[in-house]
Amino acid sequence: MASIWTQPMRGWPTDGIDTETSDSQAETERVLLATLTTQPPAPPKLLAKGLHASYFGKYLLNLPAPYASLDASRPWLMYWCLHGFDLLGVALDMPMRQRGVDTILSFQDPKGGFAGGPAPGHQAHLLPTYASVMALAILNVPEAWEQIDRKGMYEFFMRCKRDDGSFVVCEGGEVDVRGIYCLLVCATVLDIMTPELVKGTDKFLQACQTYEGGFASAAWPTGSLDPNMPTAAAAAEAHGGYTSCALFSHFLLRPVCTASSTEIADIDTHALLRWAVMQQASAMEGGGFRGRTNKLVDGCYGWWVGGLFAVLEGLVRGEDKSGNKADGSADGEWEDEIGRDMLFNRVALQEYILIAAQSSKGGLCDKPGKNADLYHSTNNLSGLSSAQHFVSHSAKQVSLNRESWQASEPPRWLADKLEASGESTADTERRRKEVWANALGWVEDADAIDIVGGEENRVNTTNPVFNILILRLKPFVNYFYGQK
């Protein structure tokens, strides 16, 4: 993949009519061009790991006053710090990990799910539930995992479910595909993914895809009388965060459908691919990603858009045509076509993060001139990881996982519910095995690592769907599925 330094430095064309958006685009190009052209002759610079680790440590222990506005997002603040440490290779000692566990568990709502702050007082919500569960996986204290109230969480999820297959983010809240993603991640890793829970969700996600190919936040009934028209349509424009959450959700639903031999509602993967590659910015903008068409480049979309290609690539090529076919054979068809390159310019994304998104005071930011914050710091590093490491969902690994499955049972309360619904014990076992095998089907090609700036810039490998390290995911998932 080419460096941004070899590309023509041309700005976006204009129609001669100045608007707030065109002015912002011009200013962004000016700032980024100045940053790119004032770097040393041999860019990019090094990843300031020590400085960024100190930044995360400072905010993990003592949040400054402005963060009071994020009081209802405390699980996210912890997740961003903990995952940031993991990506940088910083280990926490046991007292600090236990402190983190105690804090996260204080957010668990007595009626199920996790809230944005200590419960009672804060309301259970799908987004901090994801952040809390992933933080507990990162902290890696198995004694704490048993304290996750899976029954209460399942009941909370069902209270959020709507008849069209969507979910509100909290009781009385709004529908949002980000909430669906957070729910499906938790249901997958905690072994509470059931047909009842996800009934109709694939069709709702299908309706969220816009004419551009990306996904919007939600879909609403169209009221069309034409039987050939969809009964729902996307409610907003395509956006990087919504798109990755919708795509990851689609991926997490596939094994449930596979286990029951039902067809999952299709999404237009080729339109999505076109939309995604078009979000990578020009050389003038540093090679990062934007979140929406004709909007500004932003470091966080290195993850929200750059991170979705590992999943999208697998769907586009089809695992039956890849070098990792279900029978374990390799025909090389896909590798002959593009080798081990990803479907975006991974060099350019790394250069944007290293040159344009690092703050001299520690942490990473949206773009030069912006302040660093925890959200942008962690998502920049996740984007850097997705660009450095070639991770793919391997049909061969999924098959090996199925073969290694050890018979186990779901929680008793859930087994009773499934039996009452008419699902046989064999069908339950088949579905759980399929969900587990697919969740742990990700493999990294060690020969395809591409680290811009040298080995000292390497960050650890994040999982493309769950966004925690691959090495954190496996023990956590195995614990709840009774696998050794």
Catalytic annotation, pick one of 59, 79, 181, 301: 301
3-state helix, strand, coil in the chain (%, to 5): 55, 5, 40
Catalytic annotation, pick one of 376, 389, 430, 433: 376
Q: Confirm if 436 and 402 have CB atoms less than 8 A apart.
A: no
Q: Say whether 300 is catalytic.
A: yes
For residues 230 and 221, give the distance between their C-alpha atoms in angstroms, rounded to a whole number: 9
Q: Say whether 389 is catalytic.
A: no
For residues 382 and 100, give the distance between their C-alpha atoms in angstroms, rounded to a whole number: 21
Angle at 98 (CA atoms; ends 94, 100), nearest 5 degrees? 120
Q: Say whether 376 is catalytic.
A: yes
Q: Say whether 254 is catalytic.
A: no
For residues 128 and 187, give the distance between their C-alpha atoms in angstroms, rounded to a whole number: 14
For residues 434 and 429, give the distance between their C-alpha atoms in angstroms, rounded to a whole number: 9
Catalytic annotation, pick one of 55, 81, 298, 481: 298
Print burial letters for 83-109: b (CB count within 10 Å at least 16), e (below 16).
Answer: bbbbbbebebeeebbeebbebbbebbb
For residues 72 and 288, give the distance between their C-alpha atoms in angstroms, rounded to a whole number: 30
For residues 12 and 284, give the distance between their C-alpha atoms in angstroms, rounded to a whole number: 8
For residues 167 and 162, give the distance between their C-alpha atoms in angstroms, rounded to a whole number: 6
Q: Say whether 295 is catalytic.
A: yes
Q: Say whether 178 is catalytic.
A: no
Q: Say whether 301 is catalytic.
A: yes
Give the other-Cβ count within 10 Å of 384's Cβ.
30
Catalytic annotation, pick one of 150, 161, 292, 433: 292
Cα–Cα distances in Å, from 197 out to 153, 158, 191? 12, 7, 12
Catalytic annotation, pick one of 58, 295, 402, 417: 295
Q: Say whether 83 is catalytic.
A: no
406: which 2 tokens? Answer: 């050890």
Catalytic annotation, pick one of 81, 182, 300, 365: 300
CA nearest to 311, candidates 123, 153, 465, 175? 465
Amino acid at 437: A
**Residue 453, phi then psi, degrees to nearest 5:** 90, 0
Catalytic annotation, pick one of 150, 178, 366, 396: 366
Task: Report the sign of the C-alpha dihedral through residues 277, 279, 284, 288, in that order.
Answer: negative
Q: Say whether 270 is catalytic.
A: no
> Who contacts 16 (Cβ-Cβ below 8 Å, separation ≥6)?
none
- Which residues have a catalytic role annotated? 239, 292, 295, 298, 300-301, 366, 373, 376
